[in-house]
Amino acid sequence: MSRDVVIVGGGVVGLTTGVVLAERGWRVRVWTREAVEETTSSVAGALWWPYHIEPQVAARGWALESFAVYRELAADVPEAGVRMAEGVLGETSLDEVGWLAGTVPGLRAATPDEYAAGPGLWARLPLVDMAAYLPWLRGRLERAGGSVELCTVSDLAEADSAVVVNCAGLGARELAGDDGVRPVRGQLVVVENPGVEHWVVSDGADGSLTYFLPQPGRLLLGGTAEEGVWSRTPDPAVAEAIVRRCAALRPEIAGARVLGHRVGLRPAREAVRLERGVLGDGRVVVHHYGHGGAGVTVAWGCAREAAGMVEGG
């Protein structure tokens, strides 16, 4: 079989799959409707954590494999925009994260000074600056001989390659006829960082999601997880509520100057679709989408499994 593959979708999952295949000797072209810097992945807060993804067992395996990659990038490749950052997983106990044993050193209960809202877990996890990481990932793909092409696809059969990999995220609703993939809307507020050094993620008793993530030159405040909502327009009332919830945890956030607003639609599904099939003309297609809010978290582990399917596994 020709070692020629088109990957449809230029987000973090598509690019990572492209890198894995290109570095294994495949001729890779990534077709993306939007520039890499404008995909849903660019909006991600990008703290490593398997959020809103199923099946849980597989996702944890992919996440652990990816953790190892991000830890190496943080240590050795500063231009990738990955760092190991400390913070608090609110409303989380050591008993709930036994699957991290041996992978994440130094896990411990947060002190009241670190997290006054209640029980929490202090952790050191990969935090990815997507503004730096996505261009770096594209560059790594290109250095391995791959390419990224702006291209709107209405049918997977349009790909002129021996193998097609469908990493289209929400676009798989049309491209794969899969109504099971749905949006989970996330809204962020970007503010000047008033001196926050550690990230916090908190799940409120009312189901609200609150987090703040320090990134270079800014602080990302979140968030929302609105099932089935397609709007990409920031909601001012939602933005105010996000700032209010974050300020309840760190009061200095209340006066931080707002730099911008972001909205992204997570491509959620009952379970990640990762399977090999055939197109109508007999060519191989590998479906690889539905990663919810954990695309960055599982990208490397999941990409390696997808690449194995491309190669016949």
Sequence ranges of the binding site? 40-41, 211, 266, 292-297
Q: How far is CA 284 from the centre of its chain?
A: 26
Residue 27, φ and ψ in degrees, nearest 5: -85, 110
CA distances from 165 to 80, 120, 136, 172, 308 (A): 25, 40, 21, 11, 12
Phi, psi torsion values for 297, nearest 5 degrees: -60, -40
Binding residues for FAD: 40-41, 292-297
Residue labelled with tokens 């996702």: 59
Annotated binding site for D-dopa: 211, 266, 293
6 within 8 A of 161, measured Cβ to Cβ = yes
Distance CA 29, CA 138 (A): 11
Token readout for 68 is 């190892």
How many residues belong to the chain? 313
What letter represents residue 70's amino acid?
Answer: Y
